[in-house]
Structure 1
């Protein structure tokens, strides 16, 4: 499957471009950028990549089967729809939309085109989350009572960071809250009934800190998401007979070693580790397989819409209608 990338974003250059190049069944065939200097970095690992000077040129290229969209958040919906209407499969960076209601038009465009469109929510492709879901839903920790998640970093000194631009869909929740919310939903298979508490702190129009409490059908949930705290990430699932913790759930083998720790009665701890897994490569390979065969995709748009619905609830509870 021949991929084109809309824009030479740093994340595309460092992670997703190399992942497309490395994935079985995929080829990084084209890049759209007006900056030839940025294109050189992609050509270094994908020498045959064709460089177009506009996004439309990639959509008009009949040799391109699929596009990856790493554009600023506020451009995700319109360019996903344009790509679908051009007959391309679409893998779009998270968050695909800034409101849950915006998913309706994307889903309609997907269905009309008969193509695969998905949010690039890479963590559900990693075996640590597939294993966590199996253990939690299989009763390995007994009755699940509480889920606790944290994801933080500090970019206060990076004043030009796009995450700090309110006009382009900036903010900590849109950037990393999708992981703390989506991971809990994926592992448990449940949706929140309510968000009774959300404390949000803003700087220059974007959220830089969020403390959240939610109620799911069978458990309570708490999370901290921040762009103003020291780097940390973890999620724990606490049951009545055990605790399961992922110590590097979101940036696996980048932030640290991907590891699952299961602690049961008797203080027995079992460790499972995945030191060589690249979740971005797995994401591309699963995308290609589903696009080619019609097999269910691990993260369909309907799942991503559920995460955005939870985020909308958090914004509302925190005093802002997201």
Structure 2
């Protein structure tokens, strides 16, 4: 392939404008060359960032552009599987926003299409590209905190006054678990290389068939997990890995560019032993650079579809547990 991965974006989402297009401008070996939107007026702010972008008013026209190597999909959640399939069949590599599917079984077909095509298809799970996570995992695996006993995490924000937000609509695959539960669940699985054996407790608040707050407890093979996600609380994010001899805390684990400087705190004995700060890292840029290098070298992608399926399976287990508890 060429030394530039040429991207097309499906839709003019706010997230694509604020995070992914700027990242494509900064990332080595990456460039956005096309955007498809049903409303060309929405493309105007994108053109203010990069005036060379081609604008299509039909998604399929972008997929048929032979100059586009890869497609980024930030569409509403319920459209992710459909357009990921179409992009693969058009011969494009795909980076799709999370959740890439609304249930785990739908990811199986994406895995099959990926394997048949030889293309790179992945969920845009940007956090694993931030070096704080590889640092924290190395610390955990070193035995620095002894035996891992409990993992607890929280991710919250408040969009109660944003009635047009797709996260507040069940028809578009909204809800806090699909939107941000993927981070507390997935980061736990990444750090420990374990999957939950069972969900032991769920408590969910619903508004118009959308989960707006949840508390989830789970039993993994060697530790217990407790996670809280909410779209109705003051913004907060934190992950703690609590062992018999110490504690690892990530103070801004999921979107440090927005929430604050990423730090990994290590406690042992009666005091904090170290603070590792990550001041200038942009995980969106690193995600794109890793995507390119994976394609060019054939190396294994850190967040493959199998990993995404495992996290979605945990979300499916939560909803199944909640439904059975109401019987």
TM-score (structure 2 length as normaliser) = 0.96
| Pairing partner for 2:243 from 236, 239, 243 | 239
How much does 1:154 deviate? 1.1
| Pairing partner for 1:172 from 170, 176, 187 | 176
**Which secondary structure does the structure 2 equivalent of 1:262 belong to?**
strand
**Which secondary structure does the structure 2 equivalent of 1:295 belong to?**
coil
| CA–CA distance in structure 2, aligned partners of residues 39 and 229 of structure 1 | 32
| CA–CA distance in structure 2, aligned partners of residues 20 and 320 of structure 1 | 44
Runs of 5+ consecutive residues of structure 1 not aligned to the other structure: none
How much does 1:268 deviate? 3.3
| Counterpart residue number, 2:101 | 97
| Counterpart residue number, 2:85 | 81
How much does 1:320 deviate? 6.8
How much does 1:34 deviate? 2.8
Per-residue Cα deviation, 1:269-305 (whole angstroms, up to 9, x for no partner)? 3111111100000001101111122111010000000
> Is residue 2:295 matched to residue 1:284?
no
| CA–CA distance in structure 2, aligned partners of residues 138 and 286 of structure 1 | 25
Runs of 5+ consecutive residues of structure 2 not aligned to the other structure: none
| CA–CA distance in structure 2, aligned partners of residues 273 and 56 of structure 1 | 44
* Matched-pair contact (CA < 8 Å) for 1:253–1:275: no
Per-residue Cα deviation, 1:239-275 (whole angstroms, up to 9, x for no partner)? 1111000000011121111111001124133111111
> Is residue 2:215 matched to residue 1:199?
no
* Matched-pair contact (CA < 8 Å) for 1:100–1:308: yes
| CA–CA distance in structure 1, aligned partners of residues 242 and 80 of structure 2 | 36
User: Aligned Cα RMSD in Å?
Assistant: 1.1
Runs of 4+ in 1 over 4 A off after TM superposition: none
| Counterpart residue number, 1:46 | 50
How much does 1:36 deviate? 2.5
| Counterpart residue number, 2:272 | 268
| CA–CA distance in structure 2, aligned partners of residues 245 and 257 of structure 1 | 13
> Is residue 2:154 matched to residue 1:150?
yes
| CA–CA distance in structure 2, aligned partners of residues 279 and 272 of structure 1 | 17
Query: How many aligned residue pairs are there?
Result: 321
